[in-house]
Amino acid sequence: MDNVQAFAESVIENVERVIIGKREAVELAVIGLLSRGHLLIEDVPGVGKTMLARSLAKSVGCDFSRIQFTPDMLPSDVTGVTIYNQASQGFEYRPGPIIAQVVLADEINRATPKTQAALLEAMEERQVTVDGVSHILPEPFMVLATQNPIEYEGTFRLPEAQLDRFLLRIRLGYPATNKEIEVLDRQQFGHPIGELHVVASVEEVLAAQKAIQAIHMSAEIKAYIVEITSRTREHLEVYLGASPRGSLALYRASQARAALQGRDYVLPDDVKALAVPTLAHRIILGPGARLKNLTAENVVQAVLGDLLAPGGDPKAK
């Protein structure tokens, strides 16, 4: 796993030249890339959501495409269209912006549910179907979607099926005072993303993605993951718990985190560290939870607190 760790560290350090003081968020983004997953970056404007996506794509030499979602956008604006070419006397497919290796779905919740649904097939099956013809998406393929959690005017809530297709939900948050001063210093003469270099190839990304699949996970930790997701479904304050896709997401992400730590096996700590960003956005709370000011993150943390990890001390529970 040394090669994967070295690959991940080089990408993280490169992205940190642009995204300053947010090591944890950058690591989660790289975990998402290694896990062949998609990311939902949810935070207030101006904290670097778009820059994180651009920096990650540029660091690994991937084709980058940005889709600015608006209420008047059509599904064909995402997937592409088939047009008739008079010169060739036939129909031709004109690819949409979804045909790229790293796709930034900026302000995804500003699009109508019909347009949001255009991403479902791409995110799950890694292909798009236009006029009955399927078009395979390039590898690696990753969607990084952003949304502003405080603006509700002119937005549409992401449906459960859409949320469930995101491997992780990331929040950047405001930088610390000294880090914000560093941001000012680095942008005195220009934005650092303009000087960002490719530090890994697409082939290295694909090799790393394949390598983490071989990370060992014991039967006890697999059972631990399934028990965590099962308890979110049984929680009294939860209307809809995490799906089996959530279990699989936690499984894959834990493998990637172990590789980042230089291990070829998963520890319970890997699962605990990723449970909230992997599962919380998949949970729908009941009406009573809102009255108690409970969040989905609180539910996942409560489940982790009540459940004994493999190899843990029963007396310390």
Predicted confidence at residue 312, as pLDDT, reads 57
Query: Is the pTM value of this prediction over 0.75?
Result: yes
Q: Which residues of the chain have pLDDT under 50?
A: 316-317
- DSSP string for residues in the chain: -HHHHHHHHHHHHHHTTTSTT-HHHHHHHHHHHHTT--EEEE--TTSSHHHHHHHHHHHTT--EEEEE--TT--THHHHEEEEEETTTTEEEEEE-TTSSSEEEEETGGGS-HHHHTHHHHHHHHSEEEETTEEEEPPSS-EEEEEE-SS--TT--PPPHHHHTT-SEEE---PPPHHHHHHHHHHTSSS-GGGG----S-HHHHHHHHHHHTT-B--HHHHHHHHHHHHHHHH-TTEEE---HHHHHHHHHHHHHHHHHTT-SB--HHHHHHHHHHHHGGG-EE-HHHHHTT--HHHHHHHHHHHSPPTT--GGG-
Looking at the domain 2-209, which fold is it?
Rossmann fold (3.40.50)
> 3-state SS string over 124-174?
HHCEEEECCEEEECCCCCEEEEEECCCCCCCCCCCCHHHHCCCCEEECCCC
> Where are the domains positioned within the chain?
2-209, 215-316
Predicted confidence at residue 275, as pLDDT, reads 96
Predicted confidence at residue 269, as pLDDT, reads 95
Predicted confidence at residue 317, as pLDDT, reads 46
Predicted confidence at residue 218, as pLDDT, reads 94
| Domain 215-316 top-level CATH class | mainly alpha
Predicted confidence at residue 165, as pLDDT, reads 93
> 215-316: same fold as 2-209?
no
